[in-house]
Structure 1
Amino acid sequence: METIWAIAWLSSWVIRLVLAPIVIVRQKSPPIALAWLAVVMVLPWIGLVLYLLVGEQSLGYGRARRYAAQAHLEITSKRPSAQAAWTIRPGIAERQRVMVHVAESLGGLPILGANSVDLEGSATRFIERLIADINAAKHHVHLLYFIFEDDEVGKLVGDALIRAHERGVVCRLLVDAAGSWSFLGTASSRLERAGVKVVAALPAGNLRRRLARIDLRNHRKLAVIDGAIAYAGSHNVIQPDYGMKEVGAWQDLSARIVGPTVGQLQAVFLEDWHFETGEWPNDEGLFPDPATTGESPLQIVPTGPGEPNAVVRDVMIEALHLARRRVVLTTPYFVPDESLLGAIRLAVARGVQVDLVIPRKSDKWLCDAAGRYFCSELAPLGVRVHFHQTGLLHAKVMTVDDDFAMLGSANFDIRSFFLNFELNLLIYDAQATAQLRFAQMTYIGQSIEIPAAYWRVQPWLQRFGQHAAKLLSPLL
């Protein structure tokens, strides 16, 4: 017995001495490094297992090689018409030009004008419109969703894909292996037998993925029909209540886009398809000449764990720096890092009104607890915190004054900033921004504003739990 304890004691110190330098060298963020060091020092065996599983942003050799290849993809090379007049940067205000330049420098795509943007906040209408566009498809349907559920909604969309394939339409469906595990385990074979091409994104149980981090997820929500229509935002393909009837309908926002930006969204889908399959679809008609009748300038910001910057976070920081009057943030999970917190503090100090709208209770209690801690830090400084009461607020929206907005799949948390593949839109259009702000004001109308004094009188145990969750925030 003494020998066993001696071996266990010695091996625990070997783990500490070997793993600690690796954490210090490879973790760029000091809070994340300190969190991992604490786990490794206190629980070395558990820390070793966790670090091997989720400690680094490793895509695995095969994935990393394909990611490097797609990183060099020039979207303009896919369309001979890419230098046509409609790709010329639209006339926008000075502050918007600064935002455009920063976003593109960080990894966003070039801004394109002449788009039509139609916002949809109803889950039912979103699915109805998506199915209608699939029913009208003539060439191809490309769907990429984090959650594609085997429920009534998933069956309706699946049936539409089968009908489209029977008409000769090429249908490709890419779903996240974790978010859509139920669909992949039961219903995907029905679509595959009917001719729909179904691929799981980032599967973890495959030997060929053995060197990949298992919790990196493709969190994007994207549909492209005939290269002419696209949907992007926060809706998944699932019943509005996500099977949680006690919570009620989830509140989401997505945009239906017609115009030049659809070609960029098509390229994002094709990159992800190549990322998982190694194939580059080359069907004719993938990049048709776009409609140019709209008036909305859009900029696409696709992000992923292989990038050197936290692009969504940095875009948010720059937007906060540019704000003059009011910023409204809407997100289901609010777990920022120190740099984003600092930008919010500075905006409030300049006299900018900052409203934060989050669910009273989300589906992730640990994120809720950590988010409450950050609210308790910001509310006394002047940030207006609103707890949404109706259903589960799942929309991810940032509006800045009346000038521009961000809408997409990324939550305002460390997971979306650093770990997930996400897809966001920057909208430089006053009318669309006003519509998004109206949706946010509707959410605020369904919320309770939490006064700053509330955070000072919380029970001690509640505050302790929030502080403890905050310590884990770099790992959430």
Structure 2
Amino acid sequence: MWWSENLESIIYTVLLSAHLISMLMVIGVMIMENRNPLKSLSWILVLLLLPGLGIVLYVFFGQNFRKEKIISRKGLKNHDYISNIAHAQTKALSESIWSNDDIIKQMEHIIQLQLNNSDSVITYGNKVTLLNNGKEKFDSLIEELQKAKSFIHLQYYIFSQDKIGNTIKDILIQKAKEGVKVRMIVDDVGSWELKKNYFKELRSKGIEIYSFLEVRFPIFTSKVNYRNHRKIVIIDGLVGFLGGINVADRYINGGSTYGIWRDTHIKVEGDAVNSLQYIFSLDWYFVSRKELADSKYFPDKKPAGNKLVQITPSGPDTDWPGIMMGFFKIITTAKKYVYLATPYLMPNESMLMALKTAAMGGVDVRVLIPEKSDAYITNLSTMSYLKELMLSDVKIYFYQKGFIHSKVIVCDDIVSSIGSANMDFRSFEQNFEVTAFIYDEDFAKEVKETFVDDFADSQRVILAEWRKRPIKQKAKESFARLLSPLL
């Protein structure tokens, strides 16, 4: 019969038609969402180059959940309390109640922005300790963990079962045995090496531990692209840690491929710890459906120092990309200099224009990145931006003494930013991140000095030499750049 003789052709036609219809539906959804055209075009390229597989990748990695609010804050006591404070502080700024505070006067534009986009309240009386490497961070963290009396809250993207990971695990088990309440969140993708037995062991010792957005088919597969990249520890509501350092030996001992992972963390004491606790409590409610609203988690504190700190979260649960907007404001309002360190440099159009505009306007803009990366395609994409930036007088430095993994900005000896967010699409739009904005001259100068040391351990990229790269290399970088919104 005719149909049996042409079965292969019929099947091919049906499959091709189904693929074209599916692809058109996906493209239609992207258009209706009014996305960034660059990101939409990147996905269209994937759909065209990878028939069938492209649609699967889009389902897993391409959907936009910001408007859906992956984590709803509605009705949570902590959220209502923080929002009320933020609104009161916004009113105080608008009425110039704090006009006699010189730092607030200078930084009002950034402070107001963070209050409006993410309810990031201003906290006074803080002590902030700069931790410039893994050893400093873990020595300080272990010391504070051992002093815990009431509770320990930890949240990490990567928590490894290596020497430092097991050291911290043993401390947590001991503190739980002493009656300290230990709560722990790890990202399900970042900490995928942790097996079920690991969770069973900790739970058997009285530790509450959850994976964030578990990748289990079919429940969360569409959200596999939205990861919790935060690194937060709160101890007794009095001491907090945040920054770029995960729990892994490579931050102490390095490795044969990249050497020591150079990273930055901070320890905070004072009211800023309450802001960290608020962020942790939202994530804890999402994974456990339990709200941490008791006043013991937000204890009253005497001033620990004189630092003004604003802790800002961002992620697909917020209306605005708060951290990106903060970075943008710092760069575009800089008058003298902006120093920036990031392991992955794939700025969106807004951030790219901000860096170029500042540099062309006479601001000393310096960007510190690794020469070798732990992600091949990401590194290729990073390299594609360098010529354009250098043509705009942005100074690029390749870190030589290991792998630079810090996420740090310092500007004009007055504002610093240290946290978990990289300078890329993923951190700005998809990951759950947290960053501290510190408004303090002495601290900014301290951060600036660490950049001076890092620049001494780096090689500045010279534009004339950079242009001499082989055509093949430039082509690979340009192709990788097309994928930068998806990396």
Q: TM-score range by the shorter chain?
A: over 0.9
User: Alpha-carbon deviation of 1:73?
Assistant: 1.1
Summarize deviations over 1:70-112 as a string: whole Å, max 9, x none.
Answer: 5981344899xx99xxxx9665253311111112222141111
User: Alpha-carbon deviation of 1:60?
Assistant: 11
Pairing partner for 2:234 from 210, 218, 224:
224
Q: Which amino acid aligns with 2:153?
A: H
Distance in structure 1 (CA, Å) of the matches to 2:236 and 2:71: 29
Q: Does 1:406 align with 2:412?
A: no
Q: Does 1:275 align with 2:282?
A: no
User: Alpha-carbon deviation of 1:284?
Assistant: 5.6
| Closer, same or farther: CA 337–78 of 1 in aligned 2, 3 Å | closer
**Structure 1 match to 2:11:** 4
Q: Which amino acid aligns with 1:401?
A: D
**Structure 2 match to 1:475:** 486
Residues 177, 184 of structure 1: 8 Å contact kept: no
| Closer, same or farther: CA 248–401 of 1 in aligned 2, 3 Å | same
List aligned pairs for 1:189-228, cutoff 5 A.
189-205=200-216, 207-209=218-220, 212-228=222-238
Residues 57, 306 of structure 1: 8 Å contact kept: no
| Closer, same or farther: CA 313–60 of 1 in aligned 2, 3 Å | closer
Residues 420, 433 of structure 2: 8 Å contact kept: yes
- Corresponding residue SS for 1:113: strand
Distance in structure 2 (CA, Å) of the matches to 1:154 and 1:78: 38
| Closer, same or farther: CA 456–24 of 1 in aligned 2, 3 Å | same
User: Alpha-carbon deviation of 1:192?
Assistant: 1.6
User: Alpha-carbon deviation of 1:3?
Assistant: 1.4
- Corresponding residue SS for 2:225: coil
User: Alpha-carbon deviation of 1:232?
Assistant: 0.8
Residues 19, 40 of structure 1: 8 Å contact kept: no
User: Alpha-carbon deviation of 1:65?
Assistant: 5.9
Moved more, 68-77 or 311-320: 68-77
Distance in structure 2 (CA, Å) of the matches to 1:354 and 1:186: 48
| Closer, same or farther: CA 395–181 of 1 in aligned 2, 3 Å | same
User: Alpha-carbon deviation of 1:10?
Assistant: 1.7
Q: Does 1:36 align with 2:43?
A: yes
Summarize deviations over 1:384-424 as a string: whole Å, max 9, x none.
Answer: 11000111111100111111011100001100000000000
- Corresponding residue SS for 1:402: coil
Structure 2 gaps, min length 5: 1-7, 90-96
Pairing partner for 2:246 from 226, 231, 236:
236
Residues 336, 412 of structure 1: 8 Å contact kept: yes
User: Alpha-carbon deviation of 1:68?
Assistant: 4.9
| TM-score, normalised relative to structure 2 | 0.91
**Structure 1 match to 2:137:** 126
Residues 77, 293 of structure 2: 8 Å contact kept: no
Over the aligned positions, Cα root-mean-square deviation in angstroms equals: 2.4
- Corresponding residue SS for 1:181: coil
Summarize deviations over 1:8-66 as a string: whole Å, max 9, x none.
Answer: 222222123322211211252110111112222443412211111111133898x7363
| Closer, same or farther: CA 461–106 of 1 in aligned 2, 3 Å | same
| Closer, same or farther: CA 145–435 of 1 in aligned 2, 3 Å | same
Distance in structure 2 (CA, Å) of the matches to 1:77 and 1:285: 20
Residues 234, 240 of structure 2: 8 Å contact kept: yes
Residues 184, 200 of structure 1: 8 Å contact kept: no
Residues 233, 240 of structure 2: 8 Å contact kept: yes
Q: Does 1:418 align with 2:424?
A: no
Distance in structure 2 (CA, Å) of the matches to 1:316 and 1:182: 33
**Structure 2 match to 1:74:** 80
User: Alpha-carbon deviation of 1:231?
Assistant: 0.5
Distance in structure 2 (CA, Å) of the matches to 1:64 and 1:312: 18
- Corresponding residue SS for 1:173: strand
Distance in structure 2 (CA, Å) of the matches to 1:123 and 1:343: 31
| Closer, same or farther: CA 246–55 of 1 in aligned 2, 3 Å | closer
| Closer, same or farther: CA 355–108 of 1 in aligned 2, 3 Å | farther
Q: Which amino acid aligns with 1:141?
A: I
Distance in structure 2 (CA, Å) of the matches to 1:345 and 1:130: 38
Residues 27, 33 of structure 1: 8 Å contact kept: no
Distance in structure 2 (CA, Å) of the matches to 1:190 and 1:249: 31
| Closer, same or farther: CA 367–42 of 1 in aligned 2, 3 Å | closer
Pairing partner for 2:171 from 160, 167, 188:
160
| Closer, same or farther: CA 460–186 of 1 in aligned 2, 3 Å | farther
Distance in structure 1 (CA, Å) of the matches to 2:59 and 2:34: 13
Q: Which amino acid aligns with 1:285?
A: K
Distance in structure 1 (CA, Å) of the matches to 2:277 and 2:151: 11
- Corresponding residue SS for 1:183: coil
User: Alpha-carbon deviation of 1:67?
Assistant: 4.8
